[in-house]
């Protein structure tokens, strides 16, 4: 272009060629935008430093740590049983599952048997909590991209789920109900019947979410072919849970590495593992991930039903000393949380306090993929992509 320029126009962007033609250079310098930390679509306090060229994202750098509460350090300073309430606080939308993961890890070191009734109650609570967590993920995802109403429908069912938990343990969000050795107390009279009623009602209600949001054309246009994560990328970044199944990889710890009595439930054919097929766009896009979440809720209902049908009588917690001493050793236990594999790596030297309590939060690992999926997307789609990873900042930062 410089060869043709005969004279420079007053504005540096305008140039006139020898033929008298005026050209305009509309390139703009890349703009750095702070997305967050107080942005509603980050679901907490997370900051993404985005570099944009007009409407196009050219670079993204997530900054974490705004909600870092030193959970792992606390684990080295309190007794085994005292740590349990802290597990509630990392993924606060799936506290039951966190309690379960930590309890299973400590039990792996203790080598104790859990009463059958406690195991079944644990599964019911974990699966109900999975439904609640996916309802928030799905509802707020709609909210992120501009659909307000489905969110209210999702929270209607979640309210009932939380009321159920309130009846069994007294808390609505941070339960500390699943304890090392079993569960805190037995279900109150009529609780199982109410869970069965919840299942029946939910079986009808989930169709509303599909009609309202999942197959809604506006929603499909916003999410299909957006934020595609290929199989190779998913494996390379160590994604787990819905993110992995959303990329078309058939993997679920409940079936493939069964813990508690999930193996038995699977062999009974009570539930299936929904795996995305790229129906609306490309395999591994945002729509696939939300589809997996909705389908998983239905499977969770089936698991809950199986447990209700096979419920037995008996104790709900084993005999444990008040001050727990855990045998020396180390164990890693990963369970299928709503967001992926929640791993607890615990090390004991035989004392009252752990040497190391490592929490492998699924959100933390799933978030790393943003550095690769955001560049090339439009700024408007950035919210859709971040929302579809379904992060809980309490867990990324721990």
Partner 1 sequence: MDFQGIFDRLTAIRAPGLVRADEPRKPDPKDKKDKGRAGDPFVLVEPGQLASFVRACRDDDRLHFELLVDLTATDPSKDAADLWINVQLLSLKFRHRLAIKALLPKSAASLPSLVPVYRASQWHERECAEMFGITFVGHPDPRNILLPDDWVGYPLRKDYEFPKEYHGISCE
181 is a site residue for partner 1 (CB under 8 A): no
Q: Around Cβ 182, how many Cβ atoms within 10 Å?
A: 25
Residue 174 tokens, joined: 């941070």
| Contact status, residue 292 vs residue 276, Cβ threshold 8 Å | yes
Least CB distance from residue 205 to partner 1, whole Å? Answer: 33
Indicate whether 139 belongs to the interface with partner 1 (CB under 8 A).
no
How open is the CA angle 106-111-112, to the nearest 5 degrees? 95
Half-sphere exposure of 255 (CA within 13 A, CB side): 16
Handedness of CA 363, 368, 373, 379 (dihedral sign): positive
Distance CA 122, CA 127 (A): 9
Residue in 330, 318, 392 with CA at minimum distance from that of residue 97: 392
State the DSSP H helix or E strand holding residue 1, giving kind and residue range, or none if neither: none
Q: Minimum Å distance from CB 341 to partner 1? A: 6
Smallest distance, Å, CB 332 to partner 1?
6
267 sits near partner 1 (criterion: CB under 8 A): no
**Residue count, binding to partner 1 (CB under 8 A):** 45
Query: Which residue lies nearer to partner 1 by CB, 6 or 332?
Result: 332
Which residue among 364, 373, 383, 393 contacts partner 1 (CB under 8 A)? 364
- Region near partner 1 per CB under 8 A, out of 48-56, 71-79, 200-208, 218-226: 71-79
Q: Which lies closer to partner 1 via its Cβ, residue 167 or residue 358?
A: 358
CA nearest to 173, candidates 92, 83, 82? 92
Q: Does 25 bind partner 1 (CB under 8 A)?
A: no
CA distance 136 to 130: 10
**285, 281, 361, 378: which is closest to 91 by C-alpha?**
361
User: For partner 1, which is the closer residue by CB, 98 or 140?
Assistant: 98
User: What does the per-residue mask of binding to partner 1 show for 284-323, with x meaning CB under 8 A?
Assistant: ----------------------------------------
Site mask, partner 1, residues 331-350, x = CB under 8 A? xx-x------x-x-x-xxxx
Does the footprint of partner 1 cover residue 65 (CB under 8 A)?
yes
DSSP strand pairing (178-179 vs 329-337): unpaired
Binding flag, residue 40, partner 1 (CB under 8 A): no
The contact set with partner 1 (CB under 8 A) reads 64-65, 68, 70, 72-73, 76, 108-111, 235-238, 240, 249, 251, 256-257, 326-332, 334, 341, 343, 345, 347-350, 355-356, 358, 360, 364-365, 367-368, 397-398
């Amino acid at each position: 272009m410089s060869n043709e320029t005969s004279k420079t126009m007053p504005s540096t962007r305008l140039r006139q060629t020898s033929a008298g033609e005026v050209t305009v250079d509309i390139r703009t310098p890349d703009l750095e935008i702070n997305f967050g930390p107080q942005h509603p679509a980050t679901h907490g306090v997370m900051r993404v430093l985005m570099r944009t060229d007009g409407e196009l994202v050219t670079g993204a750098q997530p900054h974490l740590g705004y909600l870092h509460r030193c959970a792992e350090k606390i684990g080295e300073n309190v007794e085994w049983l005292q740590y349990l309430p802290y597990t509630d606080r990392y993924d606060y939308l799936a506290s039951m599952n966190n309690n379960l993961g930590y309890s299973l890890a400590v039990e792996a070191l203790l080598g104790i048997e859990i009463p059958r009734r406690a195991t079944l109650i644990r599964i019911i609570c974990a699966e109900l909590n999975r439904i609640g967590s996916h309802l928030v993920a799905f509802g707020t995802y709609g909210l992120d991209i501009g659909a307000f109403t489905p969110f209210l429908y999702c929270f209607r069912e979640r309210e009932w789920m939380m009321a159920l938990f309130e009846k069994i343990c007294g808390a609505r969000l941070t339960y500390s109900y699943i304890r090392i050795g079993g569960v805190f107390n037995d279900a109150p009279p009529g609780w199982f019947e109410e869970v069965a009623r919840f299942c029946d009602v939910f079986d009808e209600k989930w169709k509303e979410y599909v009609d309202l949001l999942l197959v809604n054309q506006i929603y499909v246009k916003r999410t299909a072919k957006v934020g595609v994560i290929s199989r190779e990328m998913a494996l390379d970044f160590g994604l787990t849970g819905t993110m992995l199944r959303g990329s078309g990889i058939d993997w679920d710890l409940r079936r493939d590495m069964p813990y508690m009595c999930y193996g038995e439930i699977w062999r009974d054919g009570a539930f299936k593992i929904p795996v995305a097929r790229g129906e609306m766009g490309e395999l591994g896009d945002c729509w696939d991930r939300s589809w997996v979440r909705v389908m998983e809720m239905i499977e969770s209902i089936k698991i809950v039903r199986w447990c209700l049908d096979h419920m037995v009588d008996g104790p709900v917690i084993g005999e444990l000393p008040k001050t727990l001493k855990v045998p020396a050793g180390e164990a890693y236990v990963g369970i299928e949380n709503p967001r992926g594999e929640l791993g607890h790596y615990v090390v004991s030297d035989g004392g009252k306090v752990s040497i190391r309590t490592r929490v492998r939060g699924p959100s933390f690992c799933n978030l790393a993929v943003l550095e690769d999926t955001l560049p090339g997307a439009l700024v408007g789609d950035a919210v859709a992509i971040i929302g579809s990873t379904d992060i809980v900042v309490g867990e990324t930062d721990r």
